[in-house]
């Protein structure tokens, strides 16, 4: 399965960070159920480098941990077949950890996810790290809780799985500089 795609807006976010502009790095993960191009559950469409949002965002959550990582054959964290250990030393590999607990995303057929950074903001009524319902729009999505989505950094379409019972979804973004 293909790795995620760093899209153009992700490259802009990286450039802003390198220029020292006052934006946050990757802060949020969004999950969604894709769009009409996702017709074969085990054969996801390729993401588009021009994407600035998920096709159909359903939930978004702020990271619970960011840490430096180093590759280690004994590491407990395995991402894309590579084992990592958390470390206090500065390395060129960063792990950003996201957890959708228990009932936070039940009933969603998760087919896409993306990592966002920059100026992410929820509507005033959303409290805590979780936002449901996608990006707010007064006419087309008045129940969305994400007011400002920020910069989409990386997006990935995945073979779908229907999260119908109380299970936890954990996603880890690995950034190697």
CA distance 117 to 151: 5
Q: What is the pLDDT of residue 109?
A: 84
pLDDT in tens, 39-55: 888 888 889 999 999 99
Q: What is the mean pLDDT of residues 149-160?
A: 91
Secondary structure (3-state) at 74: coil
Model confidence at 1: pLDDT above 60 = no
Secondary structure (3-state) at 15: helix
For the chain, the structural domain boundaries read 5-18+32-176
Residue 160 phi/psi, 5-degree rounding, is: -75, 150
pLDDT in tens, 97-137: 999 987 888 878 889 999 999 999 999 999 999 999 999 99
Nearest to 176 by CA among 68, 23, 26: 68
Nearest to 114 by CA among 66, 41, 53, 67: 53
Count CB atoms within 10 A of the CB of residue 142. 10
Nearest to 176 by CA among 80, 92, 66: 92
Which pair of tokens denotes residue 101?
Answer: 């607990």
């Amino acid at each position: 399965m293909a790795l995620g795609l760093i899209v153009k807006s992700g490259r802009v976010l990286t450039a802003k960070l390198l220029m020292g502009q006052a934006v946050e790095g990757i802060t949020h993960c969004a999950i969604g159920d894709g769009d009409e191009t996702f017709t074969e559950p085990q054969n996801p469409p390729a993401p588009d480098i021009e994407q600035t949002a998920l096709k159909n965002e359903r939930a978004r959550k702020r990271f619970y941990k960011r840490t430096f990582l180093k590759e280690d054959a004994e590491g407990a964290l395995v991402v894309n077949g590579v084992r990592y250990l958390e470390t206090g030393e500065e390395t060129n590999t960063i792990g950003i950890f996201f957890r959708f607990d228990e009932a936070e995303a039940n009933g969603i057929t998760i087919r896409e996810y993306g990592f966002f950074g920059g100026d992410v903001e929820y509507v005033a009524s959303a409290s805590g790290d979780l936002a449901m319902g996608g990006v707010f729009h007064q006419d087309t999505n008045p129940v969305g809780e994400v007011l400002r989505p920020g910069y989409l950094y990386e997006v990935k379409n995945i073979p779908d799985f229907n999260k119908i019972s109380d299970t936890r979804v954990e996603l880890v973004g690995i950034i190697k500089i």
